[in-house]
Amino acid sequence: MWNLLHRLASPPHFYRLAAGMIPWFAVSGLLAVAYGAYAGLFIAPPDYQQGDAFRIIYVHVPSAYLSMMAYVIMATGAGIGLIWRMKLAHAVAAAAAPLGAWFTFLALVTGSIWGRPMWGTWWEWGDPRLTSELVMLFLYFGYIALRGAIDDTAKADRASAVLALVGAVNVPIIHFSVEWWSSLHQGPTLIRKGGPAIDSAMLYPLLAMILGFTLLFGALLLRRVRTEVLYRERRTKWVREMILSTPGNNL
Amino acid sequence: MSAAEQHIPGVFTGMMAVARRDLLLAWKRPGDVLNPLFFFAMVATLFPLSVGPSIEQLELSGPGVLWVAALLAMLLSLNSLFLTDHEDGSLEQMLVSPLPLSALALGKTIAHWLTSGLPLVLVSPLLAMTFRMPVAVTGVLMLTLLLGTVSLSLLGSIGAALTVGLQRSTALLSLLILPLAMPVLIFGARTVSLAAAGEGVAGGLYFLAAYAVLTLSLAPFAAAAALRISNE
């Protein structure tokens, strides 16, 4: 078991393995998104209350879910890297951060676009989820900025890992305090989740979109980790040999 | 060897020695303590000047404004927490010390709170008065600041430890610490607002106290780990 894990975590092995996995993730992800987008936009009936505006959930919900998921992956990678000094785990954490920031941004933008017809405003401070998602984006920015400020990769890995772990302890507290804060806000009557349970014609496309987004996220993450590994190992023998044996290189 | 071991002081003694040294340094350079206080007063002055002197508005925004001003003033003083020790090499002595680094970092953080957090608490009634805050509410404000600045000092010690020795670290430190400080700000300001509205404040104070205990238990270890990484 440990042997297998160790072999998996060795950069050249991972580099080859990921190359084989990326097409599977990408193709299946694209298929799921294509089905989800078609079924969600054309087949699913309009919502009895929100009309066609509800259809933005097919982008919004997967993005919001991945913005959290990416943070979990980042913090887990950071923790493993810090405790067991596994270089690949640090590479995963570093690669997950910009993706997480983009999905957080996407969730904020789609939420804001949805809020315009629903709440009559682009931004509603009274909604706890919007606000805590914004704080999430700031946490990603802090992580990325700290990495950017340290030139030495190994040092950047370890310093940003401490930050990611401190952030991971804080994320539930931030979420809770934002909820507490907005529950006291005499806000407008928000349209909350509830009413009739979601119809299966609406639900299946959503599940397909969540699955598809996750698979595409996996493909992007693997690709980023591969690049990260290649850059970190640029002075090693296996990278040199691989590049020299690539047909058509100019070296 | 055994003779050398006898000279190692206890953990608590070492922590207090570090704190005492920082307090003495602050006493010799009073500007370092006073400047954040002036900054606190000035930021609190900016708001009435920008939103207008209407009494209702000041009463309504007072708790939030004073809390934001206090948070920014705390940030301002954080940058120098480990900086001078890093520059003159005494930080390296702490790293090689046989005492646990987390205890020494906590000692420095205690001194930081005594020289930046506590003065803010003591000055806040003066500013609260200009915002027409009633005496009872001012008491709640001081209590929330007392509990909240403890957490801010401790959270800040992690950020200061991560950024020590980096170029242009001031903006970076703010970017790292502000999202983490959000719960303290929310509970601090809202609890004072609740007090002003005549509602119960126990829940908010309990949260701030619990958060202070949490940061007190975890932050020194995170700060010590960060100091080791920054200085390797």
**How do residues A144-188 score in pLDDT, each as one tens digit?**
999 988 888 888 999 999 999 999 988 888 878 877 776 654 444
- C-alpha to C-alpha distance for B43 and B47, rounded to whole angstroms: 7
Has residue A93 been placed in a domain?
A: yes
Helices (H), A120-199: 128-149, 153-184
User: Would you say residue B155 has pLDDT above 60?
Assistant: yes
**How high is the pLDDT of residue A15?**
86
Confidence of residue A190 (pLDDT cuts 50, 70, 90): very low
- Whether the CB-CB separation of A113 and B150 falls below 8 Å is answered with no
Average pLDDT estimate for B135-139:
90
Note whether B182 contacts A145, CB cutoff 8 Å: no
User: Would you say residue B145 has pLDDT above 80?
Assistant: yes
Residues in chain A closer than 8 A to B179 (CB atoms): 135, 138-139, 142, 167, 170, 174
Note whether A167 contacts B179, CB cutoff 8 Å: yes
Gap from B218 CA to chain A (nearest CA, Å) = 9
**How high is the pLDDT of residue A131?**
83
**How high is the pLDDT of residue B144?**
94
Identify residues of B whose CB sits under 8 angstroms from chain A CBs.
Answer: 158, 162-163, 166-169, 172, 175-176, 178-180, 182-183, 186-187, 190, 194, 207, 211, 218, 222, 225-226, 229-230, 232
Residues in chain B closer than 8 A to A139 (CB atoms): 179-180
For testing contact with chain B, the best of A170, A171, A179, A183 (most B CBs within 10 A): A170
User: Who contacts A191 (Cβ-Cβ below 8 Å, separation ≥6)?
Assistant: A49, A50, A118, A119
**How high is the pLDDT of residue A238?**
85
**How high is the pLDDT of residue A193?**
47
- In the structure encoding, which two tokens stand for residue B37, read together? 């206080």
Overall domain count for chain A: 1
Q: What are phi and psi of A236, to 5 degrees?
A: -90, 165
Where is average pLDDT lowest: A41-55, A70-84, B214-228? A41-55
Residue B4: helix, strand or coil by DSSP?
A: helix
ipTM of the complex: 0.85
Task: For residue range B100-133, list pLDDT tens digits in order.
Answer: 899 999 999 999 999 999 999 999 999 998 888 8
User: Who contacts B186 (Cβ-Cβ below 8 Å, separation ≥6)?
Assistant: A177, A178, A180, A181
Task: For residue range B61-75, list pLDDT tens digits in order.
Answer: 888 899 999 999 999
User: Would you say residue B147 has pLDDT above 90?
Assistant: yes
**How high is the pLDDT of residue A249?**
66
Could you tell me which of A142, A13, A165, A1 has the C-alpha nearest to residue A87?
Answer: A13
What is the domain range of residue A99? 60-189+218-244
Note whether A135 contacts B176, CB cutoff 8 Å: no
DSSP state of A56: G
Gap from B85 CA to chain A (nearest CA, Å) = 19
> Where do the structural domains in chain B lie, given as residue ranges?
2-230
Confidence of residue A74 (pLDDT cuts 50, 70, 90): very high
**How high is the pLDDT of residue A106?**
93
User: Would you say residue B25 has pLDDT above 70?
Assistant: yes
Residue A47: helix, strand or coil by DSSP?
A: strand
User: Which of A149, A166, A180 is opposite residue B158, by nearest beta carbon?
Assistant: A166
Note whether A174 contacts B194, CB cutoff 8 Å: no
Confidence of residue A189 (pLDDT cuts 50, 70, 90): very low
Average pLDDT estimate for B142-149:
94
Q: What are phi and psi of A47, to 5 degrees?
A: -70, 140
Has residue A135 been placed in a domain?
A: yes
Note whether B175 contacts A142, CB cutoff 8 Å: yes
Cβ contacts below 8 Å, chain A against chain B, sum to 73
Residue B83: helix, strand or coil by DSSP?
A: helix
Task: For residue range B76-109, list pLDDT tens digits in order.
Answer: 888 888 888 888 888 888 888 888 899 999 999 9
**How high is the pLDDT of residue A165?**
93
Average pLDDT estimate for B164-172:
83
**How high is the pLDDT of residue B49?**
86
- The rounded mean pLDDT for chain A is 83
Confidence of residue A195 (pLDDT cuts 50, 70, 90): very low
User: Would you say residue A79 has pLDDT above 50?
Assistant: yes
Task: For residue range A14-57, list pLDDT tens digits in order.
Answer: 888 888 889 999 999 999 999 988 888 888 777 767 777 778 88
Has residue A128 been placed in a domain?
A: yes
For testing contact with chain B, the best of A157, A173, A174, A183 (most B CBs within 10 A): A173
Note whether B179 contacts A166, CB cutoff 8 Å: no
Gap from A108 CA to chain B (nearest CA, Å) = 17
